[in-house]
Amino acid sequence: MSAHRRNYMQSKVVTVTLNPALDKTITIPQLEVGGLNRVEQVRLDPGGKGINVAKVLKKFSVDVIATGFLGSEGEFLQRSLQKLGIKTDFINVPGVTRTNLKIVDNQTKFTTEINELGFVVLDEHLASFRKKLRHLLQNTAVLVLGGSLPRGVPPTIYADYISLAREYNVKTILDADGLALEEGIKACPFAVKPNVHELAGLMGRPLTTEKEIVAAGQELIKAGITIVVISRGSEGTIAMAKDEAYIVTPFSIIPQSTVGAGDSMVAAMAYAILQNKSLVETARLATVAGTVTASKPGTEVCSLNEVQLQLNKVQATWIEP
């Protein structure tokens, strides 16, 4: 093996965040649209889907590397991850790392999100990152792809990375929306985790009933995806594979913040894949992870111990696939 290859880090999971963010969470007593709002608390955290997944996986004691692009002001993001014990391997690009504003209404517990566009990525950056990713894939088991795409990145990018991962027998989890999801599923990732809104957009039709949601999930399974986990917020999860499907009903919580709930589900899915868990075990883990995180204030996320303690509180019901 060359010295160049020895310099690349090894990890069980690699998370890719092409459009990371500084998540600025502002907590206010009650949001007054068009009026003056006084801030109770301000918090700044590294953000973006893949980064959030990495934070949860670290709390699950999973060896993880966070990679992607970073613009200026990304030093804070990188230092914050390293303080959490998360290995990072980003490529720096010109432009400013975006700030995503999350306004938490303490009375309603609703979170209003305002996301900036972020930097522009050039072809040379894409080529450099693809080379980096190829090396990282040689020493990993699961690749997590998630989030929006920065300007300059084609919507086919996730499909390209899924195909690249397959060359190294690495299982991929895709959590995206819009064209990135539509193009990504054409490459048949191992698992996807759309919410109902994202799935409806992909299908081009409303999905209002359980039967309609299951039928849409079946289309993805028939297209070659191994595991489909559909998040439905407080209604729980529908998980599907080729010959089985389950509805998982969560336990009741007082929701504090939805920030990171979906990313916690993805992290639990990656953990389950590493542990060779069954579909129903995967669905239960993902549902509990999302629920526990939603019960926490601000940007706090679940730990593995918290998830394991609550597993017996969720109900998994077999449905005809």
For 140, the 3-state DSSP assignment is coil
Contacts for 36 with CB less than 8 Å, ≥ 6 apart: none
Burial environment of residue 209 by CB neighbours within 10 A (0 to 12, 13 to 18, 19 or more): exposed
* 91 token code pair: 């490529």
Rounded Cα–Cα distance for residues 60 and 78 (Å): 20
User: Which stretches within the chain are classed as H helix?
Assistant: 3-6, 49-59, 74-83, 123-137, 157-167, 178-184, 196-203, 210-222, 261-274, 279-294, 304-310
Secondary structure percentages of the chain, helix, strand, coil, to 5: 40, 25, 35
| Residue 62 to residue 69: CA distance in whole angstroms | 22
23, 45, 175, 263: which one is catalytic?
A: 263
Among left, alpha and beta (phi > 0; psi -120 to 50; other), residue 58 is alpha
177 is catalytic: no
Residue pointed to by tokens 């999973």: 62
Cβ burial, residue 221 (10 Å; 0-12/13-18/19+): middle
Residues labelled as active-site residues:
263
